[in-house]
Amino acid sequence: MRKTWEEIPLEVKEIMSIFGIPGMKVLQYAFGKDVPVSPFIPHNYTTCCVVYTGTHDNNTTMGWYKKEISREDRDRIQKYLGREVTENNIHHHLIRLAMMSVANMVVIPLQDILGLGEESRMNFPATSENNWEWRLLPEQITPTLIKDITETIIIYGRG
């Protein structure tokens, strides 16, 4: 469950500001009814943050899009991006949003880079089974994948 900026205690915000500790922005949290003012939507970022498509505690982006969000959230994603979004391309769109943001740091789970579904989810919070079992296989890193992600890193100055 996402924590909104308003729920974070003032003392924590002050310490983050004093020490330049970056905030955490998870794109999977960005497309609720509060899109214009959401702290998770890229147009509201500051440079002092780390943006993620999702985290180890979230479903993969494809699994999230396919199984966890409402039709309204899907419509907001499509309107925000101004293009057709499907379960087969959502990971590409969120990766690009993260890379083009002003965030100083971008973290993309390998499952999203590879375009994997919910079967590759890393962790199910508050459970003790079926966690941390996903493994990257050598054949999943292809020359095409390396070329594509390298081009994305270069185009957005993340290299």
pLDDT digits (tens, 9 = 90+) for 98-132: 999 999 999 999 999 999 999 999 999 999 988 99
- Sheet containing 105-107, strands listed edge to edge, beginning at the edge strand earlier in sequence: 23-26, 49-52, 105-107
Give the integer Cα–Cα distance in Å for 62 and 47.
Answer: 27
pLDDT digits (tens, 9 = 90+) for 40-82: 999 999 999 999 999 999 999 999 999 999 999 999 999 999 9
- Supply the pLDDT for residue 159: 87
| Nearest alpha carbon to residue 56 among 20, 28, 98 | 28
pLDDT digits (tens, 9 = 90+) for 134-156: 999 999 999 999 999 999 999 99
Q: Domain segments of the chain: what residues? A: 5-155
